[in-house]
Amino acid sequence: MRLDGENFELASIALDRTPLGKKDYKLSDGGLTLLKPPAGPFTLEIVTFVDPEANKALSGLYRTNNVYCTQCEAEGFRRITYFPDRPDVMAVFTTRVEADKDEAPVLLANGNFVRGGDVAGTNRHFAVWHDPFPKPCYLFALVGGKLGCVADTFTTMSGRTVELRIYVEPGKEDRCGYALDALKRAMRWDEEKFGREYDLDIFMIVAVSDFNMGAMENKGLNIFNDKYVLASPATATDNDYAGVEAVIAHEYFHNWTGNRITCRDWFQLSLKEGLTVFRDQEFTADERSRAVERIADVRTLRANQFVEDAGPLAHPVRPALYHEINNFYTPTVYEKGAEVVRMLSVLVGRDGFRRGMDLYFTRHDGHAATVEDFIACFADANGADLSQFMRWYAQAGTPELTVTGTFDRKAKTFRLDVAQTVPATPGQPVKEPMTIPLALGLVGADGRDLPLVRANGARVARGVLTISKPAESFTFTGIAERPTLSLNRGFAAPIKVSVNAGADDLKFLAAHDCDPFNRWQAVQSLATGLLIEAVTARGGKPQAEAGLIDALAAILADDALEPAFVAQALGLPSEADIARDIGREVDPDAVFRARRALRERIGGALNDRLSALHRRMSDNAPYRPDAASAGRRALKNACLDLLAADGGDAGITLAARQFAGADNMTDRMAALTTLSLYDRPERAAAIDDFYRRFAGDPLVIDKWFALQAAIPEPATLERVRQLTAHPAFSFANPNRLRALIGAFAQLNQTQFNRPDGAGYDFLAETALALDGKNPQVAARLLSAFKSWRALEPGRRARAEATLRRVAAAQSLSRDTADIVRRALGEQTADDGRS
Ligand SMILES: [Zn+2]
């Protein structure tokens, strides 16, 4: 019988109370084997010593800011004791925690509190917790330390009272209100939308400052990166509030999708993550604005997952093999996984989706399930054949749809010819056609949708065609005028679509499409077209941007639109978006120049309207974090950014004034971000002022680090180097690393990709220095190299040389070796361990 275990000292091991000797078991690298385990039931007692203070990998049991806490997903429990560390080994845990009373007055573990008290004759105390629900060890948690607490209660739909507690560093209790409110809304939502009720007597969240991920859904005892708990108007932006709400909801929703039903093995990771991301996205859409949430989610998907899918780190939603599971907590497993669940809901419809989910909960509660089990529930509940749909889990790469629309005035028909391809990805040169739900509309000249009636007289249900072949055609009848095609509405499928439509069609859709996502998409497509032409037609005549400016003007003038939506429409595609759409031989400096020039021209052309809107969206009401107020601020700040786009006095003065006068972090940070783009005295003054105001508040100083790391100018690299020696910076803290090093590598396209390769060298030397202590975070930083092959030859050569140097370094962690070798194409996601 083999048990996993590493990085601790074995004190004793006994079987049915008899101590075992060296001849009874074999110790090996990473585990212990009992040579002759009894055939029947037996009790195994193992005593180990761990050193939480020395644990800088932040996996297993570790110490952060004087708090002992655990992180066991994916394979951290084996750093605490010997155990069969795999998710399909589920057990009922009873945990007794004992500690010095002064050092750890609060003692927590999974489940319900059973008893506690003093340990006689010592200054120690103990607590016993019992979790009646069988769970895999990756969901185990314990916490001990000095913690402040905010408490509340929640009454479930069946009338049970659940105690809610959020634990934070003492003194930060007043920043927990929003998290607690979000938790209660999430609990109610899961009852109403999915019929899921909470199952223990108590639900606890502990916020810690050193944490590798966002948060962890341990049963009954979620442990959070404090970034996703703490929020106050003076210290958190609207985006931070939205992040708290989404992560609180996500981890809570795991109680059913992840904990009650867990994964049979780590290949099924998307079974819990893709599904739970889908659920938290739906929660946010219901709580805030469906259109704006969808746009924000698709921006993130394209920025992270589409790029991953197009590069050397591409892998299927369910990888077939892996070297290091920690490297598969990726945008593909999470975000693309959520898109796959969303497509399922489009294919079977809203009610059909709920039927499938109900069946999933009934059939698999208490079990470790697979993706096949999940999909079978939707097939069975709806009588649907989803066998081809399974390819979404197996094939990597973003499918591409080419659509040609042909109008026949005489026959009054409109024909769609649709062809699909899936590009080759590492280890998968040949692909099979996918099942793709294509949500579409034919928009008439008056802006209204025409009925979608097929040649056989059938109406297209819910406006969704199901594409399944490499090429197919659809003919719609009764079409008297040439319609405008609105394709992939709501971004129902995570694909790229190209269609024979011109700038006039896009302008029309931007003004009239009843699908708000595609109105936004039309503006983005207009801007992308202009930007790509400006980048690739070097020295050529830039195309007129009149169409884009007219489309934006129409959106600014449309009072029926919610401000948050207008703000999204004003946001041009990012430099990374443009680079991704160009796809090869990318010169990040040319992309930056084209984007900056277009922003400047838009700001100039719409100056009066943007100024008026900036004033109209400013109010003196006290800060409230709700979606409508946040939307007004988002629009105000989008206007500010364009008004300052020429770097001239008027816009900079406006930004400097907003920075100084802001009564909340959203407005202050937005003004500072705008100022940061221009090398003027106002910028240096604001950066210094910001530090003085917030010194001593690490989460806020992270914004200060990230802002400076993202400044698109050559002096930035040296500034980032100097900031690594700043007293507020720490290599041991993942949030600091992500703020300074991560922002530089992920957000600063021109400076990370400096033509001299110094940005690459800096990232490599930082990651190598970190690798021995925290390999998970080191590997994640290096994933910034995920699109190096798309760069122009000079940068490409330098990036490759840097990667080769890292790959050749002595004693690389498994995490880092895996990322670097895959980035170099020396191995694929599919030739690791099975
Ligand atoms: Zn999750």
Residue 783 has pLDDT above 60, yes or no: yes
CA–centroid distance, residue 321 to ligand 1 (Å): 21
Band (pLDDT 50/70/90 cuts) for residue 545 is: confident
What pLDDT digit, counting tens, does each position of 199-244 carry? 999 999 999 999 999 999 999 999 999 999 999 999 999 999 999 9
Q: Which residues of 156-195 are buried (b: 16+ CB within 10 A; e: fewer)?
A: eeeeeebebbbbbbeebbebbebbbebbbbbbebbeeebe
Residue 329 has pLDDT above 80, yes or no: yes
Residue 832 has pLDDT above 60, yes or no: no
CA–centroid distance, residue 702 to ligand 1 (Å): 23
pLDDT of residue 322: 87
Band (pLDDT 50/70/90 cuts) for residue 834 is: very low
Between the alpha carbon of residue 304 and those of residues 314, 334, 495, 590, the distances in Å are 11, 11, 14, 21
What is the distance between the alpha carbons of residues 684 and 21, in angstroms, rounded to a whole number?
67
Residue 833 has pLDDT above 70, yes or no: no
Average per-residue pLDDT in the chain?
Answer: 96
What pLDDT digit, counting tens, does each position of 241-289 carry? 999 999 999 999 999 999 999 999 999 999 999 999 999 999 999 999 9
> Does the predicted TM-score (pTM) go above 0.95?
yes
pLDDT of residue 543: 60
Is residue 64 within 8 A of residue 210, CB to CB? The reply is yes
Residue 690 has pLDDT above 60, yes or no: yes
CA–centroid distance, residue 579 to ligand 1 (Å): 29
Q: What are the E-state strand segments in 156-233?
A: 161-168, 202-208, 215-216, 221-225
Return the structure tokens found at 738: 């992500």
What pLDDT digit, counting tens, does each position of 43-60 carry? 999 999 999 999 999 999
CA–centroid distance, residue 392 to ligand 1 (Å): 20
Residue 539 has pLDDT above 70, yes or no: no
CA–centroid distance, residue 501 to ligand 1 (Å): 39
The candidate with the shortest Cα–Cα distance to 98, out of 87, 110, 86, 109, is: 109
Residue 178 has pLDDT above 80, yes or no: yes
List the catalytic residues.
251
Return the structure tokens found at 701: 């100083």
Q: CA 218 from chain center: how many Å?
A: 19
pLDDT of residue 658: 97
What pLDDT digit, counting tens, does each position of 356-373 carry? 999 999 999 999 999 999
Q: Which residues lie across from 791 on neighbouring strands? A: 586
Give φ, ψ of 707 to 5 degrees.
-60, -45
The proportion of the chain whose per-residue pLDDT surpasses 90, expressed as a percent, equals 96
Return the structure tokens found at 635: 């629009």
What is the CB neighbour count within 10 angstroms for residue 457? 8
Average pLDDT over residues 662-687: 97
pLDDT of residue 538: 60
pLDDT of residue 828: 73
CA–centroid distance, residue 114 to ligand 1 (Å): 28
Average pLDDT over residues 431-448: 97
pLDDT of residue 321: 87
Q: Which residues contact 199 (CB under 8 A, 6 or more apart)?
A: 133, 255, 260
The proportion of the chain whose per-residue pLDDT surpasses 70, expressed as a percent, equals 98
Rounded to the nearest 5 percent, the helix, strand and coil shares of the chain are 45, 20, 35
CA–centroid distance, residue 215 to ligand 1 (Å): 8
Return the structure tokens found at 570: 């004003």
